[in-house]
Amino acid sequence: MNDKLAAEAHAEKPAAPVKVVDSRSNAWSDLALTLPIFLAYHLGVVFLNMRNAADLVTAELVRLADSHIMVYWGLTLAIGLSFVLVLSVLGRGQVFDSSRFVLIAVEGGLYAILMRAAGAYVVGSLPLVAGQSITPFGGVVMSLGAGFYEELAFRVGLFGVGVLGIRMFLGGILKFSAVVIWAVIAAAVFSGWHYVGVYGDAWNVRTFVFRLVCGLVFTAIYVFRGFAPAVWTHALYDIWVLTLSG
């Protein structure tokens, strides 16, 4: 009898849960996966005579460092270390899994190639090389800054905040239609941004449409995959444009 009861208890014991690593983008993984891009940009941009127009951090760091490069680097690395410590605790260490960085780089590279093909399909053949001359080092640094700060400004800020407002006031088919329209508007603003300021390109309808298509692709990546994949796609594509194509 005792043997029978023991056997039943053993049979009813639930199996240990299988540990599954969630590969979907979330707040902690997004911050961790974009941290190398953020740090590499800020450590390198101090050597250039230009900044990404959406970068509001570098000027403050330079001011705090009183223009001393070692102090500037120290402040930048301190910011990075603070993020690592916080993310390691809140993300329980999983956010810094090395395989995630490999996968996000491969994913971003594939999206960059597909985005180039989509833009070329809409407007035809366009030269990859940017209009202004830039060194390979400067091209990489500025690409990283564009990937991080422009995605933060236009996808998270402009598009994301706008969608939150739409969700608050609209529902059903109106909400869906409004989000689509807002995605196009945000992408157009993103495209137009490249023709403003000292380092802005000369106005050209074809390149505007091309960048609008790119903005829509970045938006789709942000919506369906998250912030980090959009940042890596943007950065890798810009490296292709500013450095590798030259």
pLDDT at 126 over 70: no
Q: What angle do CA 188, 191, 193 make, to 5 degrees?
A: 110
Cβ(148)–Cβ(231) below 8 Å: yes
pLDDT the model gives residue 96: 76
pLDDT the model gives residue 232: 97
pLDDT the model gives residue 128: 52
pLDDT tens track for 175-222: 899 999 999 999 999 999 989 877 778 898 989 999 999 999 999 999
| Helix-helix angle 69-90:27-45, to 10 degrees | 170
pLDDT tens track for 216-225: 999 999 999 9
Among the listed residues 56, 104, 52, 32, the one whose alpha carbon sits nearest the alpha carbon of residue 242: 52
Domain residue spans in the chain?
Answer: 25-244
Q: Please give the distance of CA 52 from its chain centroid, rounded to a whole number.
A: 14
Q: How far apart are CA 114 and CA 118, in angstroms?
A: 6
pLDDT the model gives residue 20: 36
Q: How many CA atoms lie within 13 A of 206 on its CB side?
A: 8
Q: How far apart are CA 21 and CA 104, in angstroms?
A: 15
Average pLDDT in the chain: 84
Residue 49 identity: N
pLDDT the model gives residue 14: 47
pLDDT tens track for 10-58: 444 444 443 333 444 677 788 889 999 999 999 999 999 888 889 999 9
Percent of the chain with pLDDT over 90: 54
Q: How far apart are CA 45 and CA 54, in angstroms?
A: 13
Higher confidence at residue 127 or residue 57?
A: 57
DSSP string of the chain, one letter each residue: -HHHHHHHHHHHSPPPPPP----S--HHHHHHHHHHHHHHHHHHHTTSS---TT--SHHHHHHHTTT-HHHHHHHHHHHHHHHHHHHHHHTTTGGG-HHHHHHHHHHHHHHHHHHHHHHHHHH-----S-SS---HHHHHHHHHHIIIIIIIIIIIIIIIHHHHHHHHH--HHHHHHHHHHHHHHHHHHHHHHTTSSTTPPPP-HHHHHHHHHHHHHHHHHHHHT-HHHHHHHHHHHHHIIIIIT-
pLDDT at 169 over 90: no
Q: Which residues make Cβ contacts (< 8 Å) with residue 120, sequence separation at least 6?
A: 126, 210
